[in-house]
Amino acid sequence: MTKQLEKLMFVQGGRCFFCDQRIPATEASVEHLIARANGGANSEDNCVACCKSLNALLANKSLKEKLRIVLNQRGQFKCPACYSSKETPYSTESNGLRLERLSRISADLKNRHPALPRTVNALRNTIDAVFQKKLTAEDISSILDELQSSGRITISENKVEYQLAP
């Protein structure tokens, strides 16, 4: 690995700039965003580390073509305005993450027993606190939905009842 590639890989946390997957050193390569053939510099500003296979595909294409290729692949990419639409940016998140959140909040609620939050708002605040206020309002709503659909809680007129397994 060249010094330049080593540095880029370090900066990117060992992940491909484009697909965000960890890449082994043997699969990493330096991609010049503006191709050297098109006058692009060999400076850090113009270079990213990425999978060799993608680098070969991007080759000497123009930056515009490269952007199009990248955008065509990124299903989860959303512009800021898209966030106000009904579909939340987390709709594509993996089942694993959702289950992890669900079991984390269930475990926390069991620990709080019998001092459980009795209203929807109190429960929302509890969930917010458990996840260190990193969730959006939509995330919290989806966790509430899942707690309900999995039978862990029932909500009627803002009051929450718990059916937490021991």
28-33-38-41 Cα dihedral, nearest 10 degrees? -90
Per-residue interface string for the shown chain with Zn ion, residues 92-131, x marking contact by CB under 5 A: ----------------------------------------
Which lies closer to Zn ion via its Cβ, residue 61 or residue 104?
61
Contact between 19 and Zn ion by CB under 5 A: the answer reads yes
End-to-end CA, the chain: 53
State yes or no: residue 51 binds Zn ion (CB under 5 A).
yes
- 49: contact with Zn ion by CB under 5 A: no
Which residues contact residue 166 at a Cβ distance below 8 angstroms, ignoring those fewer than 6 apart? 110
Nearest approach, Cβ of 142 to Zn ion (angstroms)?
A: 29
User: Of all residues in this chain, which one has the CB nearest to Zn ion in the complex?
Assistant: 16
Q: According to the binding rule CB under 5 A, does residue 9 interact with Zn ion?
A: no
Q: To which residue do tokens 């939509």 refer?
A: 138
Among 129, 87, 81, smallest CA distance to 104 is for 129
Among 8, 16, 47, 143, binds Zn ion (CB under 5 A): 16
Contact between 135 and 93 (Cβ < 8 Å) = no
- C-beta of 32 vs 124, nearer to Zn ion: 32
Please say which residue, 51 or 58, places its beta carbon nearer to Zn ion.
51
Are the C-beta atoms of 29 and 51 separated by less than 8 Å?
Answer: yes
54 versus 147: smaller Cβ distance to Zn ion: 54
Shortest distance in whole angstroms from residue 118 CB to Zn ion: 48
**Would you count residue 48 as binding Zn ion (CB under 5 A)?**
no
Q: Which of 30, 19, 24, 34 is nearest to 55 (CA)?
A: 30
Establish if 135 lies at the interface with Zn ion (CB under 5 A).
Answer: no
Sign of CA dihedral 115, 120, 122, 125: positive
Footprint of Zn ion (CB under 5 A): 16, 18-19, 51
